[in-house]
Structures are given as C-alpha cells and as structure tokens.
C-alpha cells in the first residue's frame, strides 16, 4: 500500500513541478507586458527545419532567398476584447494581403454572439475563402491586462501560425486599437530589401521602478482559472529578481536578449507611432486629428492608440491607404478597376507583384536611419 502511494505521487509530482516552473516564468515575464507597450513584435521565423524543439534554435539558419521568395510573408495576430468585433474586421481589411497569414482573436470577455459574428465574417468573406489565409482562434482565451495570459495568448496564436500558416518571415502582434499607416505593398516592398533575421522590438534592461512594482511582487492572473474577467491579484510577499539572466521590458525581449545567437538581431524600435506623456504613464494618449501630421512624419508603418470609430481612421483610409469604407486597401495584387469592391475576387493577380507608394519611401527612411545610426550596436539588448 505504501509502495503504491509512492508510485502515485511520483506520477503527478514531476508534471506538477514542471507546470509550476512554466507558470512562474510566464508570470515573471508578463509583469512587464502591457497592451500599450511593444504592441508590435517582429519575430524572425527561420526557414530551416528544426529536428528537435528547443527553447531557442541552436543556429540561425540563414539561407539565400530564392527569386520566388524575394517578397517576404508576414504573419499577423490581431486581437481584441468585448466590443472590438467591428474594429477587428476593419483592421483586418486594412492589413490584408493574399501573401500574408492572419489570426484574429476575440477574447472570452466578448459575448458569444459577437464572437460568432466575427467567425462568420472570417468564414464567409469571399476573399478569405478563396485565399484561405485568415483564421480565427475558435477556442478563445480570457486575457487579463498585464497578466501572463497576454503572453500565453500570443504564444497560442504563434503556434497556430507555425502549424497551419506555412512559411513566413516576420510575426507582428497587433491589437484592435492599432492601425496601419502604409499599405501592405509598401511594407512588403521595404522589408524585401532588409535582412530577414532582424527583430524590431523596442527594449531596455533599465527597468527602473518596474523592478519593485512589477518584478518583485507575486501576482495571480484570474484568467488562468476563471471564466469571468477581473484584475490581477497582488500578493503582499515579494520575491527576488532572477540572477541567472537579465530582465528586459517584456517576455519576448528577455528571451531574445538572453540568447547569444539572437541578441545581435535586434533593432531597438517597434515601428509604431505612440503619443505618450512625458514622463510616460501606464497608458498612451488616444490619437486624434491633431496627431495626424506628426504621425505621418514619424515614418512608422503603424500607430496606436485609436478609439473605436475615431475620425482620424477615416482620414488615414482616405489619404494614406486609399481605402474606401468596408473595402480593402488597393495594391498590385487585385486586378479590378475598383479594388474596394467586395462582391467578386475572381481576378487576383500575381501576389508577388507590388505597387509601392509614398508609404514605402517613408518607411525606408526610418529603417535606413535606424540601421545606419552610430549607436545602433550599443542599443542592441542594452
């Protein structure tokens, strides 16, 4: 009897310990994560096959890009919460290109009716059905702001894209309050001329006040066990920060910067225009028409934070994207007189043909400036 009890304990003891270690790691890193910071994440996906899954790959497999792959592919996660269903549809259409892969996620705080409407949109939209590159996370996650479930939701989407999305070059994590400032033809054209191992992530190891207020406190994320959304629980006890590795301002940032083979792939910019207080507070400002010119002059391909039905979005559609209401952004891939017509998509052209515009020139200036900066290397994982 005693022997059987010992054997039973052994069966569950090791999985329990491993689960606790993983949960601790996610919680520790998630304390730095905020939907208002580093909302754009570029992650290079190697095209080489990895025989054994590892925490990070042992070598960067950089192979010469063939002519058919000269135009990169981007994998997008676009996520939202209650009331964001309509915004997700608009953002998805503004970001759409047949060469890319997309996952949309509406978390469990949204009603079942709202999630069903978004699922039907993804399933029945003629273009998505024809190309087959848009997926919705059917088993939605409950996501807590600043909690580890923000990280696990991103990892969940990345796993779907890795399993079902074929080959792609960069992963971009956006929310319903993000919006593009350039066309996908502009973005793909510009990225086709830069090394595909680069990761555009704004990061620092100078975490300052976050060490005492976010790294040391012990937190509990209710979304890990509850079906109802609520804020994090803060435990009064404190813990020491890790000494085996250096903390940076986010989960992915910490993983990349503590991996020798990846830390020199970083570009310290998240390619977003965001309006902050000085010094920055927890949340950025909502963007309005007053921010338009400064936003364009930033040369960034994305901006945030936009309110729902913000008039500035209409101005971006008209003046920067050439997009009509309910339509897609024009590009070389769509061979019709009016690329915004949504009824018929029988004449999609070669999706590797691009039609870059002024947005490509703006983004090129930004990236060239970042890569040629005198302090470029000193800003990598510092």
In a domain, 35, yes or no: no
Per-residue pLDDT of the chain (382 residues; tens, 9 = 90+): 544 555 555 555 555 445 544 555 554 545 454 444 444 455 555 444 444 434 454 444 443 443 447 899 999 999 999 999 999 999 999 999 999 999 999 999 999 999 999 999 999 999 999 999 999 999 888 887 778 888 889 999 999 999 999 999 999 999 999 999 999 999 999 999 999 999 999 988 887 777 777 777 777 777 777 777 778 777 878 888 887 888 898 889 999 999 998 989 999 999 999 998 877 677 789 999 999 999 999 999 999 999 999 999 999 999 999 999 889 999 998 755 555 555 455 568 788 999 999 999 999 999 999 999 999 999 999 8
Global confidence as pTM: 0.82
DSSP symbol at 36:
T
Residue where the block lists tokens 């990761």: 199
203 is a domain residue: yes
**CA atoms in the 13 A half-sphere facing the CB of 289:** 5
- Residue reference for tokens 């949204």: 110
Rounded Cα–Cα distance for residues 260 and 246 (Å)? 12
What is the predicted pLDDT for the residue at 355?
94
Domains of the chain: total = 1
pLDDT at 161: 97
DSSP designation for 334: B
Distance CA 168, CA 7 (A): 45
**Is 230 inside any structural domain?**
no
What single DSSP character describes residue 244?
A: S
* Residues across the chain: 382
Are 158 and 103 within 8 A, CB to CB? no
d(CA 375, CA 369): 11
The answer to whether residues 115 and 106 touch, using CB atoms and an 8 Å cutoff, is: yes
Composition of the chain by helix, strand, coil, percent to 5: 40, 15, 50
Cα–Cα distance, 371 to 268 (Å, whole number): 10
Classify residue 220 by burial, with Cβ atoms within 10 Å: 0-12, 13-18, 19+.
middle
Residue 76 lies in a domain: yes
State the number of CA atoms in the 13 A half-sphere of 95 facing the CB. 30
Residue 194 lies in a domain: yes
Q: What is the DSSP letter of 380?
A: T
Do the Cβ atoms of 62 and 44 come closer than 8 Å? no
> Within a domain: residue 283?
yes
Q: Quick one: pLDDT at residue 345?
A: 59
Q: What is the pLDDT of residue 72?
A: 96
With 0-12 / 13-18 / 19 or more C-beta atoms within 10 angstroms meaning exposed / middle / buried, residue 218 is middle
The reply to whether 63 falls in a domain is no
Task: Decide if 76 contacts 172 (C-beta within 8 A).
Answer: yes
Beta bridge partners of 319: none
Domain enclosing residue 296, as ranges: 71-207+246-379
Q: Quick check: is 190 in a domain? A: yes
């Amino acid at each position: 009897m005693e022997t059987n009890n010992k054997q039973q304990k052994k069966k569950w003891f090791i999985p329990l310990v491993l689960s606790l270690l993983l949960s601790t790691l996610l919680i520790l890193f998630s304390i730095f994560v905020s939907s208002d910071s580093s909302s754009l994440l570029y992650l290079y996906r190697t095209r080489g096959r990895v025989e054994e899954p590892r925490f990070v790959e042992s070598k960067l497999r950089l192979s010469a890009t063939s002519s058919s792959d000269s135009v990169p592919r981007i994998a997008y996660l676009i996520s939202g919460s209650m009331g964001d269903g309509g915004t997700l549809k608009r953002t998805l259409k503004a970001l759409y290109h047949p060469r890319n892969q997309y996952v949309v996620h509406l978390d469990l705080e949204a009603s079942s009716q709202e999630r069903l409407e978004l699922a039907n949109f993804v399933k029945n939209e003629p273009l998505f059905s024809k190309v087959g590159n848009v997926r919705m996370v059917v088993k939605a996650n409950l996501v807590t702001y600043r909690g580890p479930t923000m990280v696990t939701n991103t990892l969940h989407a990345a796993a779907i894209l890795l399993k079902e999305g074929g080959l792609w070059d960069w992963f971009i994590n956006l929310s319903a309050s993000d919006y593009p400032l350039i066309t996908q033809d502009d973005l793909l054209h510009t990225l086709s001329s830069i090394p595909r191992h680069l990761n555009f992530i704004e990061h620092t190891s100078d975490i300052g006040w976050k060490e005492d207020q976010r790294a040391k406190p012990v937190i509990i994320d209710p979304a890990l066990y509850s079906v109802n959304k609520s804020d994090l629980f803060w435990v009064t006890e404190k813990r020491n920060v890790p000494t085996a590795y250096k903390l940076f301002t986010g989960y992915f940032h910490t993983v990349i910067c503590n991996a020798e083979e990846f830390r020199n792939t970083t570009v310290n910019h998240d390619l977003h225009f965001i309006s902050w207080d000085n010094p920055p507070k927890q949340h950025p400002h909502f963007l309005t028409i007053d921010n338009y010119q400064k936003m364009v002059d930033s040369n960034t391909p994305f901006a945030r934070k936009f309110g729902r039905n913000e008039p500035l979005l209409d101005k971006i559609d008209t003046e920067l994207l050439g997009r009509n209401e309910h339509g897609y952004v024009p590009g070389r891939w769509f061979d019709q007189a009016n690329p915004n017509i949504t009824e018929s998509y029988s004449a999609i052209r070669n999706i590797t043909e691009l039609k870059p515009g002024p947005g490509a020139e703006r983004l090129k200036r930004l990236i060239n400036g970042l890569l040629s900066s005198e302090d470029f290397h000193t800003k990598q994982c510092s």
